[in-house]
Structure 1
Amino acid sequence: MNGTDAVLVIGSGLKLYREYLVTSIHARARAAGLDLVLINNIRPTWQRAYFAEVTVVNLFDHDLLARTAREVASRRRIVGVMCWDEPFVMPAAHLAAEFGVPGLSVPGVDGCRDKYHTRSKLTEAGLPQPGFAMTATVEEARAAAARIGYPVVVKPRALGASMGVVLAADEAELDAAFQVASAASLIGDEPYRGGAIVEGYADGPEISVDGALHKGEYQPMFVARKKTGEPPYFEEVGHVVDAADPLLRDEALVDTLARAHRVLGVEDGITHAEVRLTSRGPVVIEVNGRLGGDLIPFLGKTATGIDPGEVLFDVATGRRPDVVATKRSVAGIRFGYPEHDCVVRSVAVPAEAPGLVTAAPMVDPGTSLRLPPGGYIARHSFVVCEADDPAACDARLDAAGALVALDAERIEPLPPGATLEMPTGLLDVDE
């Protein structure tokens, strides 16, 4: 053994989306005298600046991933395991348990990853939940919807980013929604493929909450107000984080989230919970066993001063994190979507705009963007703005977004039943 203790990271994620996290984690690790070791699915480029060691394997082969991690552990003492990529949170949980280091726990991640288990456990514990059923055929889905009552939401069992999630107002819409959700599930992990969950529609504003857990204690960090588009689908087109959001002090919301995490058996780590604020109170829609995507943690850091990379490092290595805000601002992100399926020729983003923090193209020339149901996350760009209040932030996002220039060639939508095209940005394809 080389004698250097290390934190094992499973999957780096995209540079555009995750380098700011890795920068903070690397600084925290150096201060603690620890190395960062990465097991990744592509060859390293930008990652070399932060990781003492990088091994490239097929992360989707979980047996190979486990063998690779054990080989690292034969040379180094692993003191923590981190993962923020949805497809790999379960094998990361197993590795944390095997190495005896803090983690969300295998039951906790299973309760988060499997949306049917989430619903089942939260319902059994008496938390407010919509009616639901796991269905294998469209006939089962029709019967479940009739029992639950329309409108219903039809979704895959274990995908993120609202992929394959469809609102159905009646039986005619349900049939199409079931086919979309079931087809989308086929790009996920094998145990969760096929069929769809049918559940009652929880009406009300949708938010997400990134929170930290240390030995089962839940601490919310920041709330993101979500903006969706492309109905009847639920494409996430933007988020706004306000450091002074009154929901952070809402006892009903915080208590509901703390209870949900206890019921799911989540122990140490960071989760991204999605909640509907209904007339009956907060309803947990899902809990993800990872940091939020869509640069929400970056928005949280910009608005509150809480550094999610530092918090993640702390909980992954057994330290109680500090989640006290040191800043009082508002930050938001807006994603650029095409009006129709297209092949991108070019994307230009503004270099300057009122309150602009950063902006970037998200695709290269020649990329096909497919709107639901032929594809998801068809984003060509994003803008991030900061302001003193949410209304001003929204106005700045509108103005900055209007400065994005997309040049693209329209293409015909995929025919019904065609193979779903993988979403842009789902996998780390940095080159």
Structure 2
Amino acid sequence: MRALILEGIATLERYRDILPGYVRVARTHGDLRLSILVRDGVRDLLGYRELPPEIELLEEVPDYFVPGAVERRVMDLLAVGGFDLIYAPREGDIIRAARLRELAGIPGQSFASALAYRDKLRMKQHLVDAGVPVWPSAPVNDAVDFWTALDRFGLPCVLKPRSDRGSFNLEIIRDRAQAAAAIGRCAARVPIDAPFRYVLEPYSEHPMCHADGFWHDDRLEVLTVSEYVGATAARPSLGAVFGSLMVDPASERTARHRDLVERVVAALPSPRTFCFHAEIWETQDGPALNEIAARPGGRFVAYNLQNATGVEPAEFWFALETGVDPRRLGYRGPDGIRPSGSVALPYRSGLVQRVPARCGLDFVQDFRPAAGVLAGSVLPPQGQWFDTLGDVVFSAPGYPALPRNLDRLLEWAERSILIGAPGTAGPEPAR
């Protein structure tokens, strides 16, 4: 079996975790050869003198994130010889991978399915037609659409692209001045008279959860539900904590989310096997889908799922696609799901005086300082709500203890990551 992998994860350091996982799957499979296209800098990062024997090709594609070069390289590879699978776990690759599969006649997610899971408006239309509860939204293709939708939903509201990476170009609008500025920025991103391809949604104070897991052979293989805490894509705030805490899988709350996810997947043109990340508002009438993606969640969402199951999500999904039982890679099974939380530590600007190499709290599984958070560096004022000092994954003996452990973790970060005004002296040596 030969697999072509488009691995376009945005954070360079994450390749240290991701690529060895693909090799583990191939080694476990026993007859799986990998060709992997990646962004620039990966080979230097990994320091391979020789590629693992399971990897036929590991190639950096210049301008990976700009449409054009990746598509051309894949088409050249497809012209030479047979691949059984095109695997693309990142949101920037979903559409082009579907187009390339159909071009080459390779099974997998179709273009129609990829569009339904990427285009928020198309997605919700499918669901409304099937009677699935969704959070309201309205198309914004020009300024008239924008002001009409804003008058309908009121303030505050959320303006975001129908399809984009992460939370890029998302606007939270709280007053008329912000509304005018937001629609001006939106218009500036497209050619004159071109459709904006945005949506406007009402802002909510309801709890928001994310549901993550794997769908395989027409059934739900794994589901975890976590509630967002602090600032999220729905509630951005500079200087705030943001993260999520898992909900007990045996709870009625999780059961309601499970029912919604199954209805959503049934209503959409869904692949046979995929990883999903859904964001769900918990309204007074029950869960309502905000959006769902056919790929792993980003950053702390992925860390949460890995900690809960025992396997990195892209590796787990790749195993399912290639016929490898994830239990052979460390999956603990549904009865072994671990209570998990993950958080992006609140950002602070100034001179970094001390950053611990590790977190000594016994419930912390992983602490990763953000790029640039190094002793002696100066952190500028926060530019985006998702800027952070680092990501942390943690557990607890039971689900009720996760909030307490989060509080202890934030107290540790405040004490242990020392940041002062530029020009101030560092900490005194510990005694």
Q: Which TM-score applies when normalising by structure 1? A: 0.78
1:404 is aligned to 2:408: no
Larger Rg computed on CA atoms: 2
The Cα shift of 1:151 comes to 3.9
Aligned equivalents of 1:369, 1:93: Cα separation in 2: 40
Indicate the residue corresponding to 1:174 in structure 2.
179
Indicate the residue corresponding to 2:288 in structure 1.
283
Aligned equivalents of 1:279, 1:87: Cα separation in 2: 34
- Choose the corresponding residue for 2:131, options 118, 126, 133: 126
State which drifts further: 285-294 or 222-231: 222-231
- Choose the corresponding residue for 1:147, options 146, 152, 158: 152
Indicate the residue corresponding to 2:322 in structure 1.
317
- Choose the corresponding residue for 2:210, options 208, 217, 221: 208
Indicate the residue corresponding to 2:27 in structure 1.
30
State which drifts further: 127-136 or 214-223: 214-223
- Choose the corresponding residue for 2:389, options 377, 380, 384: 380
Aligned equivalents of 1:30, 1:65: Cα separation in 2: 26
Aligned equivalents of 1:330, 1:103: Cα separation in 2: 32
- Secondary structure at the aligned position of 2:36 is classed as strand
Aligned equivalents of 1:328, 1:215: Cα separation in 2: 21
The Cα shift of 1:62 comes to 3.6
Instruction: Assess, with a 3 A threshold, how the Cα gap between structure 1 residues 103 and 270 changes in structure 2: closer, same or farther.
Output: farther
- Choose the corresponding residue for 1:6, options 2, 7, 15: 2
- Choose the corresponding residue for 1:338, options 347, 359, 374: 347
The Cα shift of 1:171 comes to 4.0
The Cα shift of 1:205 comes to 1.2
Aligned equivalents of 2:72, 2:83: Cα separation in 1: 14
1:279-329 deviations in Å (ceiling 9; x for gaps):
111111111221111142332232333553443113333678777335243
The higher relative CO (CA closer than 8 Å, separation ≥ 6) is in 1
- Secondary structure at the aligned position of 1:290 is classed as coil
Q: Is the 8 A contact 1:239 1:334 kept in 2?
A: yes
1:357 is aligned to 2:365: yes
State which drifts further: 17-26 or 252-261: 17-26
Aligned equivalents of 2:69, 2:303: Cα separation in 1: 32
| CA RMSD, Structure 1 to Structure 2 (Å) | 3.4
Aligned equivalents of 2:150, 2:318: Cα separation in 1: 43
Instruction: Assess, with a 3 A threshold, how the Cα gap between structure 1 residues 405 and 139 changes in structure 2: closer, same or farther.
Output: farther
**Percent of aligned pairs with the same amino acid:** 19
1:20 is aligned to 2:17: yes
Indicate the residue corresponding to 1:418 in structure 2.
none
Structure 1, unaligned runs of 5 or more: 187-191, 411-431
Aligned residues: 395
1:40 is aligned to 2:38: yes
The Cα shift of 1:39 comes to 0.8
Aligned equivalents of 2:114, 2:388: Cα separation in 1: 28
State which drifts further: 205-214 or 344-353: 344-353
Instruction: Assess, with a 3 A threshold, how the Cα gap between structure 1 residues 16 and 222 changes in structure 2: closer, same or farther.
Output: farther
Aligned equivalents of 1:86, 1:408: Cα separation in 2: 38
1:389-415 deviations in Å (ceiling 9; x for gaps):
3233323332333222345759xxxxx
The Cα shift of 1:64 comes to 3.0
The Cα shift of 1:42 comes to 0.6
The Cα shift of 1:61 comes to 4.5
